[in-house]
Amino acid sequence: MSALDALGAPTAPSAEPTGEAGLGPWGAAWRRLRRNPSGIVGAVIVALFVLVAVLAPVLAPYRPATGEWFGQVTPTSVPGPSAEHVLGLDSFGSDLLTQLLYGARSSLVIGVVSTAVGLAVGAVLGILAGGLGGWVDTVIMRVVDVLLSIPSLLLAVSVAALLGRNAVSIMLAISAAQVPIFARLLRASLLAQRGQDYVVALRSLGLRQRRIVVGHMLPNSLGPVLVQATLVLATAVIEVAALSFLGLGAADPAVAEWGRMLVTAQDRLEQAPQLAVYPGLAIAVTALGFTLLGEALREALDPRSDR
């Protein structure tokens, strides 16, 4: 420990209790999170996003993608904000605000499901690789390496193109890119913990290997997994939009989706820039929210960050 490390705990002996009596590492992390301004901002954004997505039918003034007011749209203009339509119309004649709100839904559902699938599959692979070692580990990790070597968007595009234009294939496509991330994470976490004294101590107490992994090592991996999942969700939101933008999204035009809104806004960019700005902002802000939250979680869960 260099002299400068001593600055980490100026008046404390080997690791001070910080007055968080009775709080487990989760409780202490929660406290740290609460004090982190960018984390709060991120959490608020994420909360809003989830609320909007869940409550879209309640919040939206109209039904989505009806194209009812198509008559008001001309080749040279798209109606802007008015009394009946707070944000105006889109180029198909649907209420823009409604489209935006329902768009949050697709992003949320697809994002969450694909992350969950990616996590589940990746975690299983990672645990097998880290737990069993040997040739199982080698085979799994080489597959993971191949997947990681392909840029995630490209991978998602390839899978989506193969599986067709429906919501399920989008989810699988996005999760394909996430599997290797979680696999590596879990494997690394298991391997790192295996060398730690506390695992040796549990063995010396006579605990069986399975109990040590399930009851101790996995719960200790939860923190990094949670952080990674949050960050991955940010990418997922962008990727959902990107896939739609590229025309690989759901074929049904009635489904409101931010990426598709961006595509169709291209034609009308000069006349009605708001058609691109609103969905673009929505994507950016949502992704930002998840990223801020994820980074704040990472800091909060790091036992060494004495902030």
Q: How far is the CB of 71 from other proteins (least distance, A)?
A: 58
| x/- letters, 111..140, toward other proteins (CB under 8 A) | ------------------------------
200 near other proteins, rule: CB under 8 A: yes
Interface residue with other proteins among 13, 71, 75, 134 (CB under 8 A) is: 13
Contact 187, 148 (CB under 8 A): no
Q: What are the tokens at 116?
A: 């969950």
Interface residue with other proteins among 26, 151, 162, 267 (CB under 8 A) is: 26
Q: What are the tokens at 113?
A: 């499901």
Nearer to other proteins, 146 or 200 (CB): 200
Q: How many residues bind other proteins (CB under 8 A)?
A: 44
| Chain centre to alpha carbon of residue 220 | 21
Instruction: Provide the β-strand partners of residue 89.
Output: 95
SS3 7: helix
Contact 245, 103 (CB under 8 A): no
The interface region with other proteins, picked from 16-24, 102-110, 239-247, 252-260 by CB under 8 A, is 16-24
Q: How far is the CB of 291 from other proteins (least distance, A)?
A: 21
Q: What whole-number distance in Å separates Cα of residue 46 and Cα of residue 52? A: 10
Interface residue with other proteins among 201, 254, 281, 284 (CB under 8 A) is: 201
Interface residue with other proteins among 137, 150, 158, 216 (CB under 8 A) is: 216
Interface residue with other proteins among 74, 134, 197, 270 (CB under 8 A) is: 197
196 near other proteins, rule: CB under 8 A: yes
* Tally of CB atoms within 10 A around 209: 12
Q: What are the helix (H) ranges across the chain?
A: 25-34, 37-59, 96-132, 134-149, 152-163, 167-194, 197-204, 209-212, 218-245, 258-265, 274-301
Q: What are the tokens at 97?
A: 């605000």
Residues in touch with other proteins (CB under 8 A): 1-4, 6-7, 9-18, 20-26, 28, 35, 196-198, 200-208, 211, 216, 219-220, 303, 306-307
